[in-house]
Structure 1
Amino acid sequence: MDAQWDDLRIFLAVARAESLSGAGRVLRIDPATVGRRIARLETDLGAPLFAKSPTGYALSDAGQRLMGHAVRVEQAIEGVAEEMAGSAGGMTGQIRIGAPDGAANFVLPQVCARIGEANPDLEVQIVALPRVFNLTRREADMVVAVSPPTAGRLSVQRITDYRLHLAASRRYLRDHAPITSLDDLKGHRMVGYIQDMIFDKELDYMREAALERVSLASNSVSVQVNWVRQGGGIGVLHDFSLPFVRGVVKLLPEAFSLTRSFYLVRHADDRRLERLNRFAAALADGVRSEVARLEALT
């Protein structure tokens, strides 16, 4: 194989963005140039690397095989850069974190802001998506997840537990029938997830409350929190979100309480990169402390 690192860099960008235009934005080069470079690489290797369609670029079998090699080259180059820069100073470069939007909205901003203050040359990106991230394609450098993955070459660290309770606004409670037991919930509007968009069984809170009908549904935790805050209904909310929403209180905490966990997930090969190791340690410590601080306020 005669491909240079610049060819592999462009290949990785297309594989991760699944389009020439997306790769061009990341690389800051014209999409037509990206396309020519991919075509040249495919000619050099004698195999198509992508299956092209109107919906985007998907890796072919040959592309899947090249992906692993290209990622290892990328990691080796990053490792050399780290070693040359030394690890005694502050962290630098860009780190992208994938997270469910509950963590992304209510926990990670404070944590990452503090890490950024201590490392002014570090660029942190938080990608909040209600789905599972693909670390193999490097959609993120690391992921905060609500359940540990069971497949792939991944490193998994349990960060901390967090709690959820039924909650409603004081205005809603004032204007509707009293709630003294879980049975009373059946006469109230419930706020929760869109059932067929729940991407992890750990998020199926309503099933545990034996409630099947959700009147106001969204795949976004932030939308659910705002519905509850505005008096739209009763939801199952993270305790760590409650300090951000005035006028919202827990309901029946003795009768209904859920405990879940956050996990930090990384690609196994990334543990050789000291910069990511340092950031992962700071992130885990920060999330653990911030969840404890916010829950103590409720």
Structure 2
Amino acid sequence: MSVINPNWNDLRIFLEVARSGTLGGAARRLKVDHSTISRHIARLEETINSPVFERDYQGLHITAKGREIVQYVEAMEADAVALSDALGGSHQEPSGSVRVGTMEGIASLYLAGEFGRLKKTHPKISVELVTTTHQMHVNQREADIFLSFFPPDGKALDVVPIGEFPLHLYAAPAYLEAHGTPVDVADLSRHEFASYVSDLIQLDTVRWLDEVVSNPSLSFQSSSMIAQLFAAMSAAGIVMLPSFAKAERFGLVPLLTGRIKVKRTIWMTVHRELQYLPRIKSVTQFLQETIARDYPLPRSAQYIRE
């Protein structure tokens, strides 16, 4: 039986096409032209004597054989990255880029202001902070670290809760002057709110207003939490925001303090085969320490590793 020995560059480019879903997307990520991508894919298919993509007027669709190969190439990629870091020597300062994926609000209103401290202790690490409205797949290398308000599913993932934050209702003084200040939770039914566009919500964990008010009257809706914050600043309505937004700095007034009991857990996801790389370990430790300082888990929290 003949030995099939695919070229690593062909496999690497195939994996990028599988992740991007298009030749153009892979070409942009790899900084090569379409013909180069096509040539490598064709050579891989010739080597294994099987198509890895089906092509039609809608684009590329990965085949069953292609999906089978992906898991092996991802493992090879993880080993190659680990080897590269190991050859750099443990005595060297952690360096390189680390991509952190998370939701827009926690990224822009909290984490972006914290990463400056990481730069002081690890100047050779470059953080790429990517915002998203859906799950980023760490095992597909869409991110090195993913922070979410839910525990993601997936193979070869290390998933741990690292913090818990409360949410509060806020309103602008101008709104309260015009509509009055709610005195209890029942009083909220006569007020207007800024919230998410319900049919555009990608993650049910952000449906936090529904836990306080049934069928709230919505005067402003947006898929962006930051847009909701600014709408509330202009007296468009009451808004529910995580404590990490620090809405008071924007002039908003907290309402019914102590009477609203809505909380969310922050989960951190890292690929098991990459979590001990010096650059990634440095960032995960920084995130754990920072979030534990500001939004610690309750003592009763269970640490889950999958």
Indicate whether the TM-score tops 0.5.
yes
Residue 73 and residue 248 in structure 1: after superposition, are their counterparts in 2 closer, same or farther (change >3 A)?
same
CA distance in 2, matches of 1:59, 1:225: 41
Please point out which of 139, 142, 154 is paired with 2:142: 139
- Matching of residues 170-189 of structure 1 within 5 Å: 170-189=173-192
Equivalent in 13, 37, 44 of residue 34 of structure 1? 37
Counterpart secondary structure, 2:100: strand
Which letter does structure 2 place at the counterpart of 1:248? L
Partners of 2:187 and 2:57 lie apart in 1 by: 51
AA aligned opposite 2:48: L
**Distance 1:114-1:15 versus aligned 2 partners, 3 A rule:** farther
Q: Secondary structure at the match of 1:216?
A: strand
Q: Is 1:199 matched with 2:199?
A: no
Shift of 1:217: 1.6
Q: Who is 2:302 aligned against?
A: none
Alignment of 1:68-217 (within 5 A): 68-213=71-216, 214-217=218-221
> Which residue identity does 2:255 align to in structure 1?
L
CA distance in 2, matches of 1:282, 1:67: 31
**Corresponding residue to 1:234 among 234, 238, 241:** 238
User: CA RMSD, aligned part only?
Assistant: 2.1
Distance 1:169 1:276, change over 3 A: same
User: Taking structure 1 as reference, are residues 100 and 53 closer, same or farther at Cα in structure 2, changes over 3 Å only?
Assistant: farther
TM-score, normalization: structure 1? Answer: 0.90
| Alpha-carbon spacing, 1:259–1:27, altered in 2? closer, same or farther (3 Å) | same
Q: Which residue of 2 aligns with 1:296?
A: none
Query: 1:206·1:212 contact (CA, 8 Å) conserved in 2?
Result: no
Residue 56 of structure 1: CA displacement?
A: 4.6
2:279 maps to: 275
Moved more, 29-38 or 269-278: 269-278
> How far off is 1:55 after superposition?
5.1
CA–CA distance in structure 2, aligned partners of residues 112 and 53 of structure 1:
44
Task: Check if 1:220 corresponds to 2:224.
Answer: yes
Structure 2 matches for 1:248-287, cutoff 5 A?
A: 248-287=252-291
Displacement of 1:291: 4.6
Distance 2:59 2:129 in 1: 24
| 2:27 corresponds to which of 24, 35, 47 | 24
**Who is 2:52 aligned against?**
49
CA shift for structure 1 position 94: 1.7
What is the alpha-carbon distance in structure 2 between the residues aligned to residue 31 and residue 121 of structure 1?
33
2:301 corresponds in structure 1 to none
Quick check: 1:107–1:290 contact (8 Å CA) kept in 2? no
8 A Cα contact 2:79 2:273, kept in partner: no
What TM-score do you get using the length of structure 2 for normalisation? Answer: 0.87
- Is 1:65 matched with 2:71? no
CA contact (8 A) 1:148 1:263 kept: yes
Distance 1:190 1:24, change over 3 A: same
**Contact kept? 1:205, 1:236, Cα under 8 Å:** yes
Count of residue correspondences: 292
Relative distance call for 1:176 and 1:243 in structure 2 (3 A) is closer
Q: Distance in 2 between matches of 1:79 and 1:165?
A: 43
Q: Distance in 1 between matches of 2:27 and 2:240?
A: 41
Name the SS for the 1:269 alignment partner: coil
* 2:300 paired residue number: none
2:250 match: secondary structure: coil
CA contact under 8 A between 1:10 and 1:38: conserved in structure 2?
A: yes
